[in-house]
Amino acid sequence: MQFKEIIGQQEVKQRLINSVAENRVSHAQLFLGPEGSGSLALAVAYAQYLSCEDKQPDDSCGVCSSCRKYQKLMHPDLHFSYPFFAKHKDDNALTFIEQWREAFTANPYLSLDLWRGYLDAENKQANINIAECHQIIKKLSFKPFESVYKILILWLPEYLDKEGNALLKVIEEPQPNTLFLLVAQNQDQILNTILSRTQLVKIPCLNYEDIKTEMLTRHHQTETAASEIAYLANGNMTEALGMLQQDTKSYHELFVQWLRLCVSNKGLEVLSFVDQAAKMGRENQKNFIRYGISFLRECCLLRAGAERIVKLPEHEMEMAKKMSGVISLGMAQAVISELETAHYHIERNANPKILFLDVSLQIIKILHLKIVPEGNHYIPN
């Protein structure tokens, strides 16, 4: 994995490269970024750059012996640790290393849900067990084999329970030229004893333009499709890549149609829409609801006079301006609340026909009857 293969994050890349050039490489670093930001890919690219035999000013060379082994995730001085679903108490990360290489190679923007798909998870909870902690200590007790550095990339240290305290000594006093790169999403869930021993590398979510450009150039999406995917992904490349596998028809037309039916209280046509929505499939239903939430929030921004920060394609912007003129902030917030609740229930396999009918009735009550639930009245119109 080279830096040039990772979308955006130019400032973070440059900071990592500078740390090597200036010989300021901390032995324990925490790459902290939200899902889909590329934090895991950045950690691997950084490790490859550190081990590269012919470092370039802005990236690893990609052709030396070390880089070729890193591209296959098979360098003898590169080690991975990650949550897994243990079947036996002696299982550790090496038990699942082939699946790990396959998963990361297929998608460097890996999420725990995607990783679960490569394993026989059953109903088990993911964790990093004590056997894995002992394995880490054992692996890192030796000197580097080929490279200057021996590097451990520990993905999602949030899944280290109290057993993680077994790693404190090896993190605080590692063998010479041994590096820990922890890759996390939620700082609050990491053991404080581990957190206090690491140098923080903050990684922001991706911006709209980076994702849109990626969809246009590498995935050959149309301008409209790329804009919609970037808009819905909300900085999460994992979500954006997932949307490529789904029905890419425009959610905008369908959502606006739904609101119009509810505003005019066309009962039979609402029932027809409910039947259509129920057949969309769970992931498309979730994305459709998320689009609706995002679209209404943009309408609220327009109504508040913040047009410069609204990111909508031109034809959707025109509709949003019209809608912002007829829906009050209180109404919009009430509908958003109903949609957020619906998204929660879709994730938990609610009956889609019942769910969309119920949400439709609630939207009719808000937009047609103008009955705004208590708690939204204070929002100025």
Does any domain span residue 276? yes
Last residue of a domain, which of 176, 204, 232? Answer: 204
Question: 279 and 137 in one domain?
Answer: no
Same-domain check for residues 195 and 279: no
In terms of domains, do 82 and 191 share one?
yes
pLDDT reported for residue 246: 58
pTM over 0.75: no
Residue-wise pLDDT for 90-111, tens only, equals 888 888 899 999 999 988 998 8
Specify the pLDDT at position 378: 47
Domain containing residue 109: CATH number: 3.40.50.300
Check pLDDT > 60 for residue 247.
no
The string over 207-227, giving b where at least 16 C-beta atoms fall within 10 Å of a residue's C-beta and e elsewhere, is: eeebbbebbbeeeebeeebbb
Task: Identify whether residues 157 and 289 lie together within a single domain.
Answer: no
Give the pLDDT confidence of 22-42 residue by residue, as tens digits.
888 888 899 999 998 999 999
Does residue 221 sit within a domain?
A: no
Domain boundary pick from 204, 233, 264: 204
78's tokens: 């590169």
Report yes or no on 220 lying in a domain.
no
278 and 191 within one domain? no
Q: Do residues 183 and 305 both lie within one domain?
A: no
pLDDT of 370 over the 60 cut:
yes
Last residue of a domain, one of 204, 225, 258: 204
Instruction: Identify the helix (H) or strand (E) that includes residue 368.
Output: none
Query: Would 238 be classed as within a structural domain?
Result: no
Q: Is 183 helix (H, G, I), strand (E, B) or coil?
A: strand
Residue 264 shares a structural domain with residue 192: no
- What's the pLDDT at 295? 87
Query: What letter represents residue 127's amino acid?
Result: N
One domain, residues 192 and 273: no
Domain hosting residue 335, numbered range: 249-368
Q: What is the CA radius of gyration of the chain?
A: 24
* pLDDT, mean over the chain: 86
Between residues 341 and 116, the one the model is more confident about = 341
Mean pLDDT for 253-278 is 90
Number of domains forming the structure of the chain: 2
> What CATH number did the domain enclosing 300 receive?
1.20.272
Exposed, middle or buried: residue 374 (CB in 10 Å: 0-12, 13-18, 19+)? exposed
Q: Are residues 268 and 336 in the same domain?
A: yes
**Average confidence (pLDDT) over 19-24:** 89
